[in-house]
C-alpha cells in the first residue's frame, strides 16, 4: 500500500462554527476541499496512529462520496481501525455513543444537522473527541488555523469500499469495520430507560407519531418505537433517510415542521408526537393542540431525572445555554442542583459533563442531553418523555402545566432573521454592543432595563474564555432579550433574538406566547435599529 502526499493549497473559508464546518454542497465538492479539511483535523491531533476512528453521517447528498475520501485519508494517516455505520449512516448521538463504546480516539460525523440537504443544500463535517463530545473550542480553533496553511494531505489509492455489507476487511494496517447503525444505540437506550414500562403504555392503546422528517432517525425510530416498544406500525412517519430529505428543511420546530403541528391540531391527533432533525440530535414534543417549548422541556426533564434509576447516583448539576430560559434554574434550585450557563453550542457542555459537574443539559433550540453521551440526543429525549407519561399517566399538556403551577411560566420564543446581509448584521451587533453602557435604567413602555451586557464565559474546568457570545438585556421584571448571530449557516447571516417573559399568576398561564412577548419584540427592534439596518420588519422563523 503506497501512502501518497498530495500537494494542496489552503481554502480560507474552512472556519468551524457553532457545530463544525457547514458549507454549500457546491463549495464542498471543490477538488481537495474535504481532504484538506479532514487532514487539518488529523494534523491538529496527536497520537491517533493505531487507534480507532468512528465515521458516519446523516445520509444527506454527498455523504457516501465524502466517506470514501475520508476512509482513504484515515488509512493513510495510520488509524488502526475505522468503525463505519452501514451505508455511511450514523446519527450524531449514535456516533457519539460508539466513540465511547469502541474506545475510539474520536469520530467524524458528516452532517449539516438542521440545514437543508440535496445537491443545492448544505453539507457539514464535525469532529468529536474520545469522550464523544464535540471538539472543544481550543481544538476547533486549532483545526481552523491549520486549514489556512495546509500544503499537503496523505491518501492512498483504494477501490471503493462497500459500505452496505456488515463486516470487517483490512487495508494496509487498518481494519475497516462496517457495523449496524442502530443496534448499539438501541441497546444503550434500553440500559437507560425501562422499556417494559413504556411498552405497557402502548399496550393500553396510547398513540404516538414520530416524524423523522426523511432524515437520519428513521431507522432508529422504527426499530425503537415500533419494533421494541410496540407503538403501532406507521407511528414513525417520513422514516426513510433521503439525500435531500424529500425537500423538507429538517429542523423540528413550529415553522419547518408545521405539518406535524397542524396534524396535532386535527381530530386525527395522536396522544403524543415528536420530531427530530437531520442528524437526530434535536427533538420537538407535541401533545394534541399543544406544543412544549424546549426550555420548558428541559426543566421538566430536570424535575423527573431522579425517577430514572440510571441517574440515581449521578444526578449532579444541570447546564443550559445562555439563550435558554431559566425555567430549568427554578427546578434545579428547588432540587438543590447547581446550574451552569454556557454559550450556545454543545461543545461547551463537554467539559462539565466530563468533570461530572452536570448530568443534564439543554438548549432552547430543541436540544437536550445528559451524561449518557456527550452530544444532544433527540430519541433519548423522546424516550424520557414517554417514561414521564407512562409513570404519571398524565397528558403532555398536563405535565407542562404542572411545571407552570409549581414555578410560574416563562414565556419563551426565538425569532430568527435568516439570510441577512452579513456586513449589515455585523454592523447591527457592533452598534448594539457599543450602546450597552447607555442602556441600563432606560425605560421602554414600562419595561426598565436593569442590566445590559455581552455574555462572556469562562469554562470552570479548562479556564478557557469565550467572549462576545450574545448581547443580553435584562429587565427589572426579569424579562430578557438576547441577541446573537448564528454560527451554523452556510451563507449570509442569521440574527437570532430570544425573548423570555415571566408570569407568576395562574390566570396568565394560557396566553398566546407571541402576544405576551410582543412588547419585548418592539423593544428589541428599537434598541438595535433592526428595520433600518436589515431592511426587515419580521423574522423568517418563529419558534
Ligand atoms: C444553532 C442553535 C444551537 C445549536 C446549534 C447546533 O446554532 O442555536 O443552539 O447548538 O444550532 O445544532 P446557531 O449558531 O445557528 O444559533 V444542530 O442540531 O444544527 O447540530
Ligand atoms: Co442536529
Question: What is this structure's pTM?
Answer: 0.96
- Polymer length of the chain: 543
What is the whole-number distance in angstroms between the Cα of residue 7 and the centre of ligand 2?
34
What is the whole-number distance in angstroms between the Cα of residue 17 and the centre of ligand 1?
9
Run of H or E including 406: helix 396-407
For 489-539, what is each residue's pLDDT tens digit?
888 899 999 999 999 999 999 999 999 999 999 999 999 999 999 999 999
- Report the pLDDT value the prediction gives residue 313, as an integer from 0 to 100: 80
Q: Which ligand is closest to the CA of 470, given by its number?
A: 1
Over residues 310-316, mean pLDDT: 86
For 355-388, what is each residue's pLDDT tens digit?
999 999 999 999 999 999 999 999 999 999 999 9
3-state secondary structure 344-391: CCHHHCHHHHHCCCEEEEEECCCEEEECCECCCCHHHHHHHHHHHHHH
Q: Which ligand is closest to the CA of 346, given by its number?
A: 1
Q: Is the pLDDT of residue 343 over 90?
A: yes
**What's the CA gap between 527 and 480, in Å, rounded?**
13
Our answer to whether residue 113 is catalytic in this structure is: yes
Strands (E), 245-357: 272-276, 283-287, 290-292, 317-321, 339-342
What is the atom index within ligand 1 of the atom nearest the CA of 494? 15
What is the atom index within ligand 1 of the atom nearest the CA of 18? 14
Q: Which residue do the cell numbers 437526530 mark?
A: 280
430 grid coordinates: 457592533
Residue whose CA is at the smallest distance from ligand 1 atom 13: 486
**Helix 63-76 with 33-43: angle, nearest 10 deg:** 40
For 14-69, what is each residue's pLDDT tens digit?
999 988 999 999 999 999 999 999 999 999 999 999 999 999 999 999 999 999 99
- Report the pLDDT value the prediction gives residue 488, as an integer from 0 to 100: 87
Q: Which ligand is closest to the CA of 134, given by its number?
A: 1
What is the whole-number distance in angstroms between the Cα of residue 235 and the centre of ligand 2?
22
For 185-243, what is each residue's pLDDT tens digit?
999 999 999 999 999 999 999 999 999 999 999 999 999 999 999 999 999 999 999 99
What is the whole-number distance in angstroms between the Cα of residue 56 and the centre of ligand 2?
14
Q: Which of 345, 350, 374 to mutate to test the pocket of ligand 1 (most atoms within 8 A of CB)?
A: 345
Number of Cβ within a 10 Å radius of residue 92: 32
- Report the pLDDT value the prediction gives residue 311, as an integer from 0 to 100: 94
For 269-292, what is each residue's pLDDT tens digit?
999 999 999 999 999 999 999 999
Q: Which of 365, 425, 483, 496 to mutate to test the pocket of ligand 1 (most atoms within 8 A of CB)?
A: 365
Q: Is the pLDDT of residue 312 over 90?
A: no
- Report the pLDDT value the prediction gives residue 71, as an integer from 0 to 100: 97
**Counts for the chain of helices (H) and strands (E), in that order:** 17, 27
Cα 343 to Cα 39, 274, 362, 428: the distances in Å are: 28, 26, 11, 20
- Report the pLDDT value the prediction gives residue 490, as an integer from 0 to 100: 83
CB of 316 closer than 8 Å to CB of 359: yes
What is the whole-number distance in angstroms between the Cα of residue 514 and the centre of ligand 2?
26
Q: Is the pLDDT of residue 1 over 80?
A: no
What is the whole-number distance in angstroms between the Cα of residue 141 and the centre of ligand 1?
18
Pocket of ligand 1, beta carbon within 6 A = 18-19, 113-114, 277, 281-282, 321, 344-346, 363, 365, 367, 486-488, 496
Which of 96, 113, 297, 321 is catalytic? The answer is: 113
Q: Which of 113, 344, 350, 425 to mutate to test the pocket of ligand 1 (most atoms within 8 A of CB)?
A: 344
Residue whose CA is at the smallest distance from ligand 1 atom 9: 365
What is the whole-number distance in angstroms between the Cα of residue 346 and the centre of ligand 1?
8
Residue whose CA is at the smallest distance from ligand 1 atom 17: 113
Q: Which of 19, 216, 277, 376 to mutate to test the pocket of ligand 1 (most atoms within 8 A of CB)?
A: 19
What is the atom index within ligand 1 of the atom nearest the CA of 344? 9
Q: Is the pLDDT of residue 459 over 80?
A: yes
Q: What mean pLDDT, rounded, does the chain reach?
A: 96
Amino acid at each position: 500500500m503506497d501512502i501518497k502526499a498530495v500537494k494542496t493549497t489552503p481554502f480560507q473559508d474552512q472556519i468551524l462554527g457553532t457545530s463544525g464546518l457547514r458549507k454549500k454542497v457546491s463549495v464542498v465538492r471543490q477538488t481537495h476541499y474535504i481532504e484538506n479539511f479532514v487532514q487539518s483535523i488529523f494534523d491538529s491531533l496527536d497520537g491517533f496512529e493505531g487507534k480507532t476512528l468512528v465515521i458516519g453521517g446523516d445520509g444527506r447528498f454527498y455523504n457516501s462520496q465524502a466517506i470514501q475520501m475520508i476512509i482513504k485519508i484515515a488509512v493513510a494517516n495510520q488509524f488502526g481501525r475505522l468503525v463505519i455505520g452501514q451505508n455511511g449512516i450514523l446519527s450524531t448521538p449514535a456516533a457519539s455513543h460508539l466513540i465511547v463504546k469502541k474506545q475510539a480516539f474520536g469520530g467524524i460525523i458528516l452532517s449539516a444537522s438542521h440545514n437543508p440537504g440535496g445537491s443545492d443544500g448544505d453539507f457539514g463535517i464535525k469532529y468529536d473527541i474520545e469522550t464523544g463530545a464535540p471538539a472543544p473550542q481550543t481544538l476547533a480553533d486549532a483545526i481552523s488555523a491549520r486549514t489556512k496553511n495546509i500544503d499537503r494531505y496523505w491518501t492512498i489509492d483504494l477501490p471503493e469500499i462497500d459500505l452496505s455489507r456488515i463486516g470487517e476487511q483490512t487495508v494496509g494496517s487498518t481494519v475497516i469495520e462496517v457495523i449496524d447503525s442502530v443496534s448499539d444505540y438501541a441497546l444503550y437506550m434500553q440500559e437507560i430507560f425501562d422499556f417494559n414500562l413504556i411498552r405497557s403504555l402502548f399496550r393500553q392503546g396510547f398513540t404516538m407519531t414520530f416524524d423523522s422528517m426523511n432524515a437520519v432517525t428513521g431507522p432508529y425510530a422504527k426499530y425503537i418505537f415500533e419494533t421494541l416498544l410496540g407503538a403501532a406500525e406507521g407511528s414513525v412517519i417520513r422514516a426513510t433517510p433521503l439525500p435531500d430529505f424529500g425537500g423538507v428543511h429538517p429542523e423540528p420546530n413550529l415553522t419547518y415542521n408545521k405539518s406535524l403541528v397542524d396534524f396535532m391540531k386535527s381530530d386525527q391527533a395522536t396522544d403524543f408526537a415528536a420530531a427530530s432533525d437531520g442528524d437526530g440530535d434535536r427533538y420537538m414534543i407535541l401533545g394534541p393542540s399543544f406544543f412544549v417549548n424546549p426550555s420548558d422541556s428541559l426543566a421538566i426533564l430536570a424535575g423527573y431525572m431522579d425517577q430514572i434509576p440510571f441517574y440515581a447516583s449521578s444526578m449532579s448539576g444541570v447546564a443550559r445555554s445562555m439563550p435558554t430560559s431559566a425555567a430549568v434554574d427554578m427546578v434545579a434550585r428547588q432540587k438543590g442542583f447547581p446550574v451552569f450557563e454556557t454559550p450556545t453550542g454543545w461543545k461547551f457542555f463537554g467539559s462539565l459533563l466530563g468533570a461530572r459537574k452536570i448530568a443534564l443539559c439543554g438548549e432552547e433550540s430543541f436540544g437536550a442531553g445528559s451524561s449518557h453521551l456527550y452530544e444532544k440526543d433527540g430519541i433519548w429525549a423522546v424516550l424520557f418523555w414517554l417514561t414521564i407519561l407512562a409513570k404519571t399517566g398524565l397528558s403532555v399538556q398536563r405535565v407542562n402545566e404542572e411545571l407552570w403551577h409549581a414555578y410560574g411560566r416563562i414565556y419563551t420564543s426565538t425569532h430568527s432573521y435568516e439570510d441577512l446581509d452579513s456586513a449589515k448584521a455585523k454592523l447591527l451587533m457592533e452598534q448594539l454592543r457599543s450602546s450597552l453602557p447607555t442602556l441600563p435604567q432606560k425605560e421602554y413602555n414600562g419595561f426598565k432595563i436593569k442590566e445590559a451586557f455581552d455574555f462572556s464565559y469562562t469554562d470552570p474546568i479548562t479556564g478557557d474564555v469565550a467572549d462576545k457570545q450574545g448581547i443580553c438585556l435584562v429587565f427589572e421584571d426579569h424579562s430578557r432579550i438576547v441577541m446573537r448571530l448564528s454560527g451554523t449557516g452556510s451563507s449570509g447571516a442569521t440574527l437570532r433574538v430570544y425573548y423570555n417573559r415571566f408570569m407568576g399568576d395562574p390566570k396568565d398561564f394560557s396566553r398566546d406566547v407571541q402576544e405576551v412577548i410582543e412588547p419585548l419584540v418592539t423593544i428589541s427592534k428599537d434598541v438595535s435599529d433592526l428595520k433600518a439596518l436589515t431592511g426587515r420588519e419580521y423574522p423568517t422563523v418563529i419558534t
